[in-house]
Amino acid sequence: MIAIIKYNAGNIFSVRAALGRLGAQSVITGAAAELKAAQKIIFPGVGEAGTAMAYLKKTGLDEIIKNLKVPVLGICLGMQLLCKKSEEGGAKCLGVFDAEIKKFQSPTAKIPHIGWNNITDVKAPLFDKSLENAYVYFVHGYYAPLCAATAARADYILPFSAALQKDNFYAAQFHPEKSGDTGEKILKNFLEL
């Protein structure tokens, strides 16, 4: 069973629908027992880092998530919360990835970064070479800089981590569930880990 973490910040139903299109059964839950029993976990998110972290700490989900041993996929805010800290709300995050989330700054470019953008320097196992230069859908005003855990890169205002990977933790700044065939392929790769 695939668990989608429910924590009051999410695009959980579009993620569940995308998994359903791939024939995967999923449960939306914030229950420790269900998360610990899942074979794979998706940590989605749309929202504000400070508020989301406060909720995770209040419910004990923060400790559960960072100690998971099965494959975990963080999406958008879920990816950012897996990093060390975020400039958004001055949040101290989960610290899985050694990266600090920064706010985009530009006098001319639109912020947030919304729309289709290509990813490069993609690394297995979440990405295969057929996904090099593929277009995916982004909606974010904050980003993870390039770092040792970068598994794909994108450029908007500056180069940033479009995806991260360390041990059993995978993360995408973009929304695979809204990225058409490319996103479906990435989710399929995650399900096949």
Q: What is the mean pLDDT of residues 79-96?
A: 97
Give 112-129 pLDDT, tens digit per residue. Answer: 999 999 999 999 999 999
Query: Cα separation of 142 and 160, whole Å?
Result: 10
Q: What is the mean pLDDT of residues 50-59?
A: 96
Question: Can you give the pLDDT at residue 10?
Answer: 74
The whole-chain average pLDDT of the chain stands at 97
Catalytic residues: 76, 175, 177
Please report, for residues 14, 96, 184, the alpha-carbon distance to residue 83 in angstroms, rounded to integers and kept in the order given: 23, 6, 25
Rounded-to-integer distance, Cα 104 and Cα 150, Å: 18
CA 158 to chain centroid, in Å, comes to 19
| Closest CA relative to residue 176, chosen from 43, 71, 54 | 43
Domain count, the chain: 1
Q: pTM for the full model? A: 0.97
**Which range of residues forms the domain containing residue 15?**
2-191
Rounded to an integer, the average pLDDT of 19-48 is 96
Residues 6+ apart with CB under 8 A from 180: 137
CATH number for position 51? 3.40.50.880
